[in-house]
Structure formats: C-alpha cells, structure tokens
Amino acid sequence: MRKVMAMCLNPMLRAVHLPSVPPPGTWKHGVVKHAGWVASLLVLLFVRYYCDALHAVQTAAAITLVEAVYTDMLGGKRKGLEGSGWFLCGNFGVVVIAGVWNAGKEALDVLERMVQVTMMRGAQSGGVVTYVKSGAGVEGVRARVVNSKRTDLSQLVRAKIESVEPKGKRLAGPRFYAGHTRFATTSKATFDGTHPHQWTPRKTMSVYVGFDKVDVPIVKKNVNVEHYICHNGDLDFFTVGGRTYDLGAIQQWLQRCTGAPMPSPVDSVAVAGCVDLLRTQGSWPLSVRYAFLIVPERSTLLTTVPSWADYEVVGEIFENAFLSAGQLTPKTGKGGDVRTKVAAEAGRQLEKGVGGERLAWFRKAGGLDIEGGLHSLCLAVVDAFYDNDLFHTVTDFLSRAKGSFGLCINSSLDAEKQLVVAARGQTISVAVYPRTGIVCWGSEQAAVKAAMGVKAGGRSDESLGPAIRLDLDDLGGEACLVDWGKGEPTVSAPMQLNNRQCDIEVLGGIVRLISRKEALASAPLLRRSIQLDDNPLVLSIPDLDKPYPVADDISRIPQICRDVQESFRSSEGTINQLTMLHWRRALGKRLKLKNKRHDEVDILITGAEVSLWMGEQFASDLTTCFKGLNVKTMSANKLLGLFGQGMPIPQTGHQLSEGLLALNHTIVLIVSHSGGTFASLAVSNLLQSVTTDIFVVASEWDTQIGKQLRTLPCHLAESRIFSTGVGVSPAEPCTISVAATHQLLTEILLFTQMYILSDKDRRVSAKCVATQDAMAQLARMDMENIKALEEITGYASDGTKRSASNNVTNDTLVAQGKYWADHVLEAPRAWICVALYVVGTVTAGWPVGAGLIHLAGGNLDQAETKYPVGFIDSIIYLFFFQLAVAGIRLLQGRPLWHRMAGRSVVIGDVPWVAQCVEAFFSKMLATTYSITGVAAYSGNPVDHLVHKYTHRVVRGGLLAVGRPDGRLCRHTSSESAVLLSSSQASSIQNMGATCETLTLGHNPYKLGLAAHNIVLPTHRPKYLCEKLLEEDAKSRGETVPPDASSGALHGMYDNLFSKDAKKEPKTVFELFAAFGNGVYDVIGDAEETAKVRSLFDRYAKREGNSDAGELVVDMADFIATCAEMKSPLSEPQIAELFHTYDADESGTLDWMEFNLLYTKAKSSLGLMTNVNAKISATSMPTISHEDVFGDKMRKDAPNSSLADMVGAQNISMELYESRCASFQRCIAFIVLFHAMGESIATFWRTIVPFELFAYRADRTHSIMRIATTASPVSGADVRLIMKKLKLKAQWYDSLKQLGSLTEKIRTKAIIREMSREKPVQSPQTGTPKLVENRLGFLY
C-alpha cells in the first residue's frame, strides 16, 4: 500500500523509484504500475477544473500525464531509468484410501496437478465425477467446464468440483475423483460433449447387493443406479446379437433400448449407453433387458423394444424363482447347479403362460433364436444377474466394440469399493502409493506421478512398499479392476481366462489390482510394474506452476546439453551408454548384411513435426559420413498411413509406396521427445513385426514408447531408449526439447563414427569417408558448444544467471526481440492513445483545434473560425490513429515509413532450424490478441525463400535470416547464397522503405541492406583454410579483414588454391588429392581413369610371371613405390591401407582393386587418417587439442597440396555447420523470438489492472503439447496389420534362406560338372582356358 501511495502522492514527479516491488505479472505489480498515470490524470482534472492554478501548472500536469501514459501504460522507456523498481507512470483420477486425505485439500492438489500434466494431451474442455452420500446409497456429482482461449483448465476444473461437491456428504471411507480432459477430434468442444459422460440419468431401483461378501446372503435394497465413463479414443462399431453395427445405428438403438434421449452426439456417450445395458449384477429387470437385447442372434437391430414395466414383470418371475431356491450367497451362486435351478424354474413359469400375451416377446426370443430354446435365454438372465459386475461389463464391452479405447468406468453400485480402467489403442497407467494410501490412474504416464512426494497431513508409513505403476497393454488390450473394498473384489474374474491379480497393502487398507489381457500371454502384474520411488530412471514431475515456463526452459538449455554429453561419457554407467552398446551391436550386425542385402533400408528415422525435422538433419549427417549406409527418414504418419492401415493411404506427391521400402531387420530410430506422440507410438508397435532393432530418443526412460520397446526381447544390460533427461516439459513452444534432442543426436553420431572407424571391415561396408580427425574435431566443438549456449541463453551450465558483463550476446538478442515487439505493440498503444484522446476531448467538450483557438482568445462562434477548426478537428479524429503511430515511432526511434498494419515474420535458415523456430514463434503468439497477432513463415534461403516470399515483401515486414559460417571455405558459397537471398528481399522498396532484415551468424561481416546484423561468438579453433589465408596474406604484407564478406573470402580461397592448379602430381598421394578432392565417385571420367591406369601399369607385373597372367601389384611393390615417392605414411599404415582394399585377400591388387583404392577415398589425407586410426569401439571419442584444426595433418603430410589438406577437412566443416553452428543459431533465434513474444505478453498482462487481459505465452489455443490421438492417421488397424507384416517378414526370411540354400546346391553342381570337363590347353601358353560346360556356366 505504501508503494501505491507513493505513486499517487507524487504525480508531478516524472519518475518514482521503488526499490522493492511486487514481481511483474502479479496483480499487485499492476496496481502499483497503474497508480501513477491514474493519479496524474486526476491531478490534471483537479488543477484544470477545481482550482485556479496557473497556466504553467496546468501545462506541467498535462506533460506529466502524457509521460505517465507513455511510460507506465504503454510500456515506453526513458533514458537513465533502467532497472527494476522504476515505475514510469487426456483420463486421470485418484482414489483416496487413507483417511488422512479427508482433512485437507491435498487430494485436490494431486488432482489439479494431474490435470496440468494431462492437459498436454489437449485441454479444450474437462470434467470430474465423484460420489457422495445420499438417501439411497450414493449419488454421482459431476463437474464439467469448457475451457476458453486464455484460461487454465486445471484451475477451472478444481474450482468447479470444489463448488459442486458438498463437503458434508463426502463418503466416510475411501473416495475417488475420475476425470478427463478433451481434445475434440470428431465434434466441437462443447459442454454436452465434455466428459465424464452419462447416458441414463440417475434412477432409484431395487437391487441385490452384497456380492462381495462370499458367505453372506445378498440382500435387496433401494439404491441409486447411475454409471459414468471417461473415454479417450473412438468408438467405431459395436456387436449385438452376432452382428456388427456402426456408431450411428448403435446411437439410435441405445435411445430405444434405454428409453433415454442421446445426451450428446459424441461417440463416447454411446460407451456410457452400452455400459447401462451391460452392468446388470443384482438387478433382475436389468438382467432380463441385457439377455433379451444383447444375447439372441438377430439379423438386425430391434426397432421396437419392450417397456421398462415389461422387464420388471419378467424380472419378478426370475426373482420369485430365485427366492424359492432359498437365501443364496454369492458363493453358492458361483455353482452351475443353482443357476440352472433358478433358470429352469423361471422357464417353467413362463412356459405355463404366466404374464399372458404381455410376455410373448420374451418367449418368442427364447424359442426362436437361441439353441436350447427358452431355457438358454433364462440361463443368460441368471448369469447376467450374478456375473455382470463392473469388471465383467468392461471386458464384455471390449469384446464387442471396435475402435480405440482408454477407459475409466465407474458406477454408483460400486463407487465405495472399485472402478475399472481399460486400454486398447489408447494408453492407461495405474500407480499405487502404499506409503501414503492413494491410487492414481491416467492416460499420461507422467500424470500418475503427481502424488510422488505428497503426504497428506505429513503422514507416511515408510514400512510399506514403494510406489509402483502398472502400464496397461494398450496394444493387445487390457482391463484392470482397481478394488479397495474389504470383500471379494469381483464375481466374474475367476470365470475369465488369463486373469492376473496382486494385492498391495497401503496406508489405510488393501488395494487389489485384477487384470485381464485380451492377448493370451500375460506376465504377473508385479513383474510388469515399474517402481516409482527411489528409481533413478523415473523422473518426478517438475514444478508446473512457474510463471514463465518458456524462459525457465531456455535457462536450462546449457545445463541439459552438458548433462546429455556426460550421460554418454560417465564412468558410472548410464541408460544412454547401455543403449549405445545395443545400437552398436545392431549396427555391426546390419553392416555384416550389407553384402547380402543391398535393397534393404539400413537405418530408418521417423517422428513427427519438430522431432522429424531434427531426425532429417541427423540422417543427412549419417549419410555425409557413411556413404554406404542406406538411411531413410519418413514421417511417422506416412509410415502409419502406408503400412498400418487395412486400406493404405497413397502418399501422393512423395516417392513412396508399399513395395518401395524393405524394412526387414532395419535399425529404426524413433525421435519423439514426449515419448507418447500417437503416430510414433503406433509405429513403435507396428514395426516390431519386421525388426527388433527399434530405438527411441525421448525425454526420459519412462515413456509410452519406452514401455512398448521394453516388451521386445532383450539381452542382459541392453536398452533401446536414449534419454535426454529433460522429463516433462509442459510448455508448448519447443525450446529445451529441441536443444536436448539435437544434442543427443550429436552424441549418437559421434559414438557411431567411433564404432565404425574402429574396424576395417565396418569402414569398408559403411563406405566411411569420415576421418578420425573429423571425429576428434567434432568432439572438441561439441564440448565448446556449451560455452556458446551459455552466452546465447545468458545462463551457465550449472543453472546460474551469468553476470551482466559476460552476457553481451544474450542482451543483444533480447534487446532485438524487444525492439521487434515494439513494432507489433505500436497498434494497441496507438489505439489507447486514440481512446484517451476521444474520451478526453469529448468529455471536456474541447477538441484540440477548438481548444487551441479558445486558449488563444479566438471566437468559435464566427463562421470563418468555426467551420475550418471543426474540419481540422474532424481530420484529427479521423487520422489520430496514424498520427499516434507516427508519434510512437518517433519517440522510440523506429522507422517511420513502415506500413501501419499487421506484421509478419519470415525465418530463413537451414531446414531444421527454420522449421523449428517457426513452430516455436507461432506457438508463442498463439493466444495473443488479434491486434498483436504476427504471421510466421519459414524458408530455406539457399533454395526457395526468394521464390516463395519475395513477392510478399512489404514495408515493415520482418525477415530473420541465419547465415552459415562463410569464413570456412566449405561454407563461403552457402553464406553468399544466403546473403544474396536477403539482399534480393531487402532491395524491394516502396516510399524508400522495405522489409526489415536481420541476419544472424558467426561471420562478423555486416550485410549493407540488412537493418540488423547479430554476430554470435565463435567457440572453436580456426580451421586450416583460415590459417592458410592468414599466412598467404602475411606473405604479401597484408591481413585478412576480420569482417570480410563471404564473397571476398571466396575470391581469396580461389587465389590460394589456384597456385596448385597446374602443378603435375609427382606422388601417389598428390594423385589421390587430384582425384579425391570434391566429388566422391570419379568413375566415369575417362581422362582421370586413364591417368590412374597409367600409374597402375607402371608398377604392375604379370601374375605368376607369365605373359598371360593378370597384371597385379603386390605388397612389396606397393610399399617400395610409396617409399620411393616419399609417402607420409609409415610401412604399417601402408600395409593396413593395402589390406583394406585387397578385397579377395589374394595378397595382390588387381586393376579393379587398385582403381577402387583411388576412387573410393576422399583424399590421401583422409585415407591416412583412417589408416592411422587405432580406436577402441568401446572407448570415448578422442577430443582434438589442436590450436588450429589441421595442424597435425599438416605436420604428418608436409608434401600434400593445399587443396588436398583443406579438402580433407570438408566433412569436419560440414559437421560443424550441421551439429554446432546451426544449433547455436537455432537457440539464438529462440532467445530473440522469446523476448519478442514475452514482451507482447507482458504488455497485455500489465496494461490493465488485475491482469484482465493476461494470457499464457507457453500455451496455444488447442493446448495440445502431445498429439496422443490420431492426428490425422488412425491406428485402429495396427494390431491386425502387425500379424500380416510378421508373416510377410517370416516369408521374406524364408525366401532368403531358400535362396542361399539353392545357391549352395547350384555351386556344388557346378563343381561336379567342372570335374567332368577336361580343361582345354592354350596353344600359346599351355595354361587352361575358360570353357563352357553343359550347364552354361563359365569357369
């Protein structure tokens, strides 16, 4: 309050400093901020109208008000007043077992946290149901809300359930809350479509209860009957009477059968209607309805059905038969004799005609459609009365339904003891916390971890076991009964096959989990469960209430990237090290098959959106290093559409069809940071039919895809999960997930290089062109990259904020983002100025023109004054917005001639960076208001950016372009192309203005047509090409300008390399350089091939010293030749090189092998480096310690040409751009655009008191962090397709084996034929000639 008073009591002060203020974004902060300009306005009104103040005082008050509005309301800045303190005027649910949860609000805290996590799956609407005491047992209390664009669903749901749940009627014992958040797929997100769903309204009925007490007779009570369901997925078909019907027919049929209108057209409501028909235990009328409607085989659905009164009449007959059999207990009811007896007695009564014609419908159904006649139908009624409890209801529903299901089903009849969850095609997990007495379930694995560390009333029984989680089998289908009652959990479970049960003692009671899988194979539940407490592989949920989650994620980027590096290099053993060992074994196995299976894909990389884009860059880098690997990338949706559908989706516009990819035994890498994206998850299941070498890159070990991969056969200490260790990241704009995933893929690339380089056969099979030096240099730059990220983000790798003096790069990026935010915010600021002007002038009755004339003593009653002044004032009113915009631009020093309209941003960089940054920025502004909306686009400046966007260049358009490091000869052309694209866009002008271009990169050169050039710090040694340029310039008494353009550098490099252009090769290694530099495969160039042949003929001799012998070069000649020509290689290195290309291991090189030695190498230096490689497959990557990258190579090969030495570093320079430089640009763009987006969000948060216009920049309107439903390709056919693919793969392998066997048989036949033929002697030499035998083969 003192701060507010200070602002109010000092309205004439142009600035007030408050050393301690509430944090920005809070309502208190808003009150303090707006107090100044409000007080200034009141002072102006007071001195103007209520006191005889001097004109100068009135003028000062007016100036103060203008300044206060500009600074405090519009967020403007004044020089010299920096620093803080200056005020310039998805399914989820919990079961609470222990009584200690009833005292406080911890249960709802856990529930709200679960909603926050589940919201990542979509949060357009949500609801919760719980049960409370009533006069007839219990009754359901449902709370449902529809989320708006800028509200928090978790808070809305909690507030709603707190308002509708009567505290005095809570159940005395355990209680549960079952909820659901919705991302609408087939209908609008409306209130009636919001879960939990109920079809038939609550009804009080006479029901027999007590089936959980085995030896106690069941008793009849009047109780409320109502059922609620929460459903993820889609209900497509349902089977009734042996025939399957679509959803529309079932919906109409349910209305007839239940007598209740359809509450909502959404498919999930029909699930609730089916449950109403199936849950019949204890009720004779309900059992009669079930048996009559569901059991008899019919050719069509009934168009007319009996009334409820008719069911009650028949039910009474069965009840009398039941009572005549004596007071029966559930135990006696399990026997077939009792059931048969009751059914027979009821059948006799019906056959006698009891009920007359009124019951003819039941007799007809039993007599006509069921084998055994009426007795069979009667027996079905009795079975339903005994067996159709909640667990049986769910398993019966799943057996009849087709679609995808993540279900939670509960009933008022069972609310005090149990509920059932089920999964098929959608995920469901159940977590039990014994020490605190709470059970959680949810569609999102992370959501059920919401109770980790939570203690109700601080109480916890540490003597009990740790928390565990059971992930239901969503592929095979599984239902799980969660029971906390004290009696028998279920009557139906012992009668089902493949059930598993475990009893867990918890604080306050016992929890029983009873599972039934649709697949026959089923391991014990405890063996399948995951321990949550004290498990280093399971990460807890982070703080979800941080006010600025995107900023927090950005601050953690250096730390998480360092952690990812250490996870591959740790001496303690990590999950990533285990997975890397498995990856290497799979790769080694794959490389051994290269000579046998040329048509198959070696590595398939898949994912969706951002994950896929990073995977594409990783695949490109693999191909750059290993030319022999067949690496493919493909969207998970494309894979699912092509291979996972009963009727495949044609991939129009893509070179892809069913028979094009051979994926048998392919290594599959799924990139999915969430580990739960629908398409990626479906593909992880689908491809198990053709390969077991499936890996995933995810945020942690404990994900849905990880769960599926853990079911694959695995050796001891093997893993298929690469983990970034980020865990749950709820912010929708991707920041830390992008950084961590890219970093992890870099580590995989490094260790893959090391593995292949460590073995000659692997190098040959993979056609490895990467060198040991390139690997060591990448490892060095990878480590140095952390320093660059620290400078860009402004945070050290230990998580601390860097000092201001060391934060220049981050400050520059943030300042640029805020500057561009001012472009966007000028519209609402001008609108506020217009509003103030209109309100002020109209209220006062003095527009500006009239007021000035009045102050000057003019007479406004005269026509010659009145009308001109009125015209001027009307023009001011009409164009005041434009005048305000111009004034704001002048005050802020921004370009005056930009268009006064909405802004758009075009991001140009390499594909993965441009796409990731576009996705980030568009999500940052997804929930902003239309007046500050910004359209985001992306393009590749070395490809289509000019063609795609230059026709849309307008004054004030924003173009952000990332530049490769053109200081390196490998990237001078690339940067020149990028700068040309930028210049072409920036040269399109109108009224002297054009788009506002920003370039960002490591080269200090500043583009003249760009308005802004941001230079990122360089954290790497110089490359040899840079050093050679400096030496060449120094030899001429010159220096290389530090800010030379890429074009200028291109010319310098041309001059440098031209010195060697006409020099004839004198050594074999110079010849290597002549052929190896540049293009990988030079076969086909007749002139160059002739030179190689001439060299071969010079040193070759006839095999066997015979004139007819083949020309070859042996080891001794090759070593002697190299020694004579002063080769930089040692004899062991030359021998290793010789053996590498001696394909037939004959000890000699024929012409083909000799030619291959030359044409399959990049350069002599590349060969030398790999030959010199003495790497262990299990060691850590060697880190280069060179002052200049290439110093070692230059020392080892002093006679090599400049072009040869520089060309040997091409791979290293390419990897620097793809793995480090582009990564740094990506994070820099994210920092810049985050500052821009957050500045816009801050404006709306603070412009009006109490944050009335605030919105979350970390969320979008859809609120879908993870696409966990079909988006857009269905996965309903995956289970069936898996079986077909598995058979196809087995057939494929059989053909391979058959072909191999046939080849062996053919070879033996040829040998036998050869033994029968007499060799024909050559008349000149006497040596055998090649002859053709009867089988037509040459020998």
CA distance 530 to 703: 11
The phi, psi pair for 621, rounded to 5°, reads -70, -40
Name the band, by pLDDT with cuts 50, 70 and 90, for residue 1066: very low
The per-residue pLDDT for 191 is 83
Q: Which amino acid is at 60?
A: A
Per-residue model confidence as pLDDT tens digits over 209-221: 988 887 888 889 9
* Sign of the four-CA dihedral 212, 216, 217, 223: negative
Q: Are strands 934-939 and 125-134 parallel, antiparallel or unpaired?
A: unpaired
pLDDT tens column, 306-341: 999 999 999 999 999 998 887 677 777 776 788 888
Paired residues of 606 in beta bridges: 634, 670
Predicted pLDDT of residue 1220 = 97
- The Cα 29–Cα 1028 span in angstroms is 58
Name 513's bridge partners. 482, 502
Per-residue pLDDT band for 170 (boundaries 50, 70, 90) equals: confident
- Evaluate whether 921 touches 913 at the Cβ level (below 8 Å): no
Query: Helix, strand or coil for residue 130?
Result: strand
Average pLDDT over the chain, rounded to an integer: 82
Segment 22-48 mean pLDDT: 58
| CA gap 129, 144 in Å, rounded | 9
From 28-37, 129-138, 517-526, 1069-1078, the region with the lowest mean pLDDT: 1069-1078
What was the pLDDT predicted at 629? 93
- Percent of the chain whose predicted confidence (pLDDT) is above 70: 78
The H-or-E segment that residue 156 falls in is helix 153-164
Cα 442 to Cα 105, 114, 229, 482: the distances in Å are 20, 8, 13, 13
- Per DSSP, the residues of 473-512 read -TTT-EEEEEE--SS-S-SSGGGSSSEEEEEEEETTEEEE
Q: Kindly tell me the number of DSSP H helices and DSSP E strands found in the chain.
A: 44, 34
Candidates 1129, 1001, 1014; CA nearest to 1072 is 1129
Handedness of CA 1193, 1197, 1199, 1205 (dihedral sign): negative
Q: How far apart are CA 11 and CA 194, in angstroms?
A: 51
Least confident of 537-551, 812-826, 1127-1141, 1249-1263: 1127-1141
Give the model confidence (pLDDT) of 234-290 as tens digits: 898 999 998 999 999 999 999 999 999 999 999 999 999 999 999 999 999 999 999
Whole-angstrom distance, CA of residue 942 vs CA of residue 659: 34
Mean pLDDT lowest among 461-475, 827-841, 1085-1099: 1085-1099
3-state DSSP assignment of residue 877: helix
Comparing 108-122, 181-195, 410-424, 1121-1135, which segment has the lowest mean pLDDT? 1121-1135
Structure-block tokens of residue 1011: 């308005």
Is the pLDDT score of 88 beyond 60?
no
pLDDT of residue 911: 96
Range in 876-880, 911-915, 1283-1287 the model is least confident about: 1283-1287
Banded pLDDT at 62 (limits 50, 70, 90): low
Mean pLDDT over 1020-1045 rounds to 93
Closest CA to 146 of 197, 193, 92: 193
Is residue 27 scored above 70 in pLDDT? no
> What is the predicted pLDDT for the residue at 1077?
37
Three-state secondary-structure class, residue 1246: helix
* pLDDT given at position 461: 84
Per-residue pLDDT band for 114 (boundaries 50, 70, 90) equals confident
pLDDT on residue 1319: 45
Query: Is the predicted pLDDT of residue 140 greater than 50, yes or no?
Result: yes
Lowest mean pLDDT among 303-312, 543-552, 1110-1119: 1110-1119
Closest CA to 118 of 147, 139, 89, 142: 147
**945, 936 contact by CB (below 8 A):** no
Which residues, at least 6 apart from 726, have a Cβ–Cβ distance to it below 8 Å?
Answer: 560, 673, 699, 700, 736, 737, 740
Per-residue confidence at 496, pLDDT binned at 50, 70, 90?
A: low
- Give the pLDDT confidence of 1168-1218 residue by residue, as tens digits: 445 444 555 557 888 999 999 999 888 877 777 788 888 889 999 999 999
Average pLDDT over residues 670-687: 88
Confidence of residue 937 (pLDDT cuts 50, 70, 90): very high
Mean pLDDT of 443-470: 86
pLDDT of residue 214: 76
Q: What's the pLDDT band for 1128 if we cut at 50, 70, 90?
A: low
Residue 1046: count other Cβ atoms within 10 Å of its Cβ.
Answer: 25
pLDDT at 19 over 70: no
Candidate from 13-22, 362-371, 1074-1083, 1207-1216 with smallest mean pLDDT: 1074-1083
Whole-number Å distance between alpha carbons of 468 and 433: 7
Q: How far is CA 289 from CA 278, 1180, 1192, in A?
A: 9, 70, 87
Contact between residue 791 and residue 809 where contact means Cβ atoms under 8 Å apart: yes
Read off the pLDDT of residues 582-630 as tens digits, 9 standing for 90 and up: 999 999 999 988 765 667 899 999 999 999 999 999 999 999 999 999 9
DSSP 1135-1158: HHHHHHH-TT-SSEE-HHHHHHHH
Pair of tokens at residue 663: 């994926």
pLDDT band, very low/low/confident/very high, at 939 (cuts 50, 70, 90): very high
pLDDT band at residue 1330 using 50, 70 and 90 as cut-offs: very low
Instruction: Read off the pTM.
Output: 0.81
Kindly state the average pLDDT of the residues 1054-1059: 84
Strand, helix or coil for residue 1260: coil
Helix (H) / strand (E) element for 124: namely: none
In degrees, rounded to 5, the angle at the alpha carbon of residue 1072 between the alpha carbons of residues 1069 and 1078 is 140
Q: With bands split at pLDDT 50, 70 and 90, how would you rate the model's confidence at 398?
A: very high
Whether the pLDDT of residue 29 is over 60: the answer is no
